[in-house]
Structure formats: C-alpha cells, structure tokens
Amino acid sequence: MIVVWKNEATPVGAPTPARGLNPLLDCTERGLAMKATRVCSVAPCAAPVKARGLCNRHYLRQRKHGDPATVLRAANGTFGPVCVVPECGSPHHTGGYCGKHAYRIRVHGTPAAPAAKTGPQNPAWRGDVVGYSAVHARLRRTFGPAATQLCDCGAPAEQWAYDHSDPAEQEAPEGPYSTDLARYRPMCVPCHKRADLARFAPLTPAQRARREVARAPRPAGQDPTGDEQEQEDDPDA
C-alpha cells in the first residue's frame, strides 16, 4: 500500500513525491499482521514490539536508563533505587538513604542505630517512683524473661518472685513489690505459691486488715495514713 505524504517544501504545481508508510504506523490489516508477528529483541522476551525492536517494558527501560536490561528493584518488591546502607534494601528516599536512615543521619549524624538509652540516661526515667508493672518490665529488660532461667527446684522458671526482704517495701493492688531488682528470683508457679503462703501464714488478723486497707483504692486527696480522719474525730484537735 502506498500512501502519499504531502511535502510542504515542494513548490506549488510540482509533482508530490510519494514514499512508503512505515510498517509500524500501518494500521491496515496487513500492517497489524506484520506487527503482531514481531517480538521484542531482548531474549527471552516474547512481547510485541512497541518501538525500535523493543516491547513497551524494555523500550521504557532503554529510554530511562540507556539499557533495556536495567532493573532496579528494592528488597520489598518496589521499583526504583535502594538505600546505600548495606543489607538495607529499602526504597531510596533522599540523599541516597531510605527514610529510616535519612532520619538517623539528620538527628544523630550517622546511619547506624543509636545506643538505647536505658536507666538514668533515659529522659523518661522515674527512679524508684514506679509501680508494680514497671518494676517487672525492668526485670525483663535487665535479666530477660523468667522462662529463660531455672527455679531453685530445678524446674523451668515462669515468674519473677519478690523475696519480701526490702525494708522499703511498696504496696500495690497486685501485691507487695520492691524497686530493688536484686530482691527478685526466678521461680516456677508451685514454688512461688508456696513461698507466698509461707510468708502470709504468720500474719495476724490486724496485719492482714492493714494490708487490705493499703491495697484498697483511695479517693483522691485522702491521706493514706488516716491521720486526717483521726484529727477530725478528735474533739481536742
């Protein structure tokens, strides 16, 4: 098929030259059949040719990277450059780094993970003004879970048990506790129960009552010692 293209540089009245239509632009039945039989020149790709002997995917790679075989894929499956930190593999964010390492560079000046601030170095450290759960969280961070150690009986431990030897013992709804981590031992549940029962056995009824009062929730503003109530009841006060 011959299609006549008008050449604007041809003088008026001169014969118009004719040239054949590029097969890639030929949308006739014959042209479409020719394009359907042409496949990408990058082996083993068998996709139809888009331009310059390449399929659409390899043609775009050629335009963007100069090489149709270039593939930039991050470790998480996304396309594009990756972080320059070895073994990171996260998508590039800025300055050659992913978002995490770029933040570390901006805040700490190094892409390495900063040392964790524990104990008094942590701005949120409260010293001994902590509750029952916070003390047990410190035990797990310092010594690890109790399940990784053995009880005195030789069985696998399951809980951290307070030995009740601290003169400054604290009271909480969960039970007595100490902020001194050296006063805890890993114990299995049976040994822990026997130790608690042996400790509670010698308590007098008055001692038990005082302990229950200490564990009971108090209204806001009430003196935990009860001195304020005693002064109100004392007529000579």
Domain co-membership, 85 together with 161: no
Cβ atoms 59, 52 nearer than 8 A = yes
Judgement on whether residues 82 and 56 belong to the same structural domain of the protein: no
Instruction: Based on the fold, state whether residues 61 and 79 are members of the same structural domain.
Output: no
The pLDDT, as a whole number, for residue 20 is: 46
Q: What's the number of domains the chain is made of?
A: 3
Q: Is residue 91 part of a domain?
A: yes
202-225 residue pLDDT tens: 667 777 777 777 777 766 555 444
My answer on whether 138 and 100 are in the same domain is no
Alpha helices in the chain (DSSP H): 29-37, 56-65, 99-108, 132-143, 189-200, 205-215, 227-233
Highest mean pLDDT among 17-26, 104-113, 179-188, 227-236: 179-188
Tokens 């068998």, residue located: 46
- Please state the pTM of the whole predicted model: 0.39
Residues 67-114: tens digit of each pLDDT: 887 666 555 555 567 788 887 878 878 888 888 888 988 888 888 887
For residues 143 and 193, state if they share a domain: yes
| Residues 189, 137: Cα–Cα separation, whole Å | 19
Residue 11 has pLDDT above 80, yes or no: no
The answer to whether residue 118 is domain-embedded is no
Q: Which domain holds residue 189?
A: 128-215
What's the rounded Cα separation, in Å, for the pair 138 and 133?
Answer: 9
| Domain annotation covers residue 9 | yes
For 57, how many CA atoms within 13 A lie in the half-sphere containing its CB? 12
Which sign, positive or negative, has the C-alpha torsion 38, 40, 45, 48? negative
54 inside domain: yes
Residue 216's pLDDT is 74
What would the two tokens of residue 223 be? 């003196």
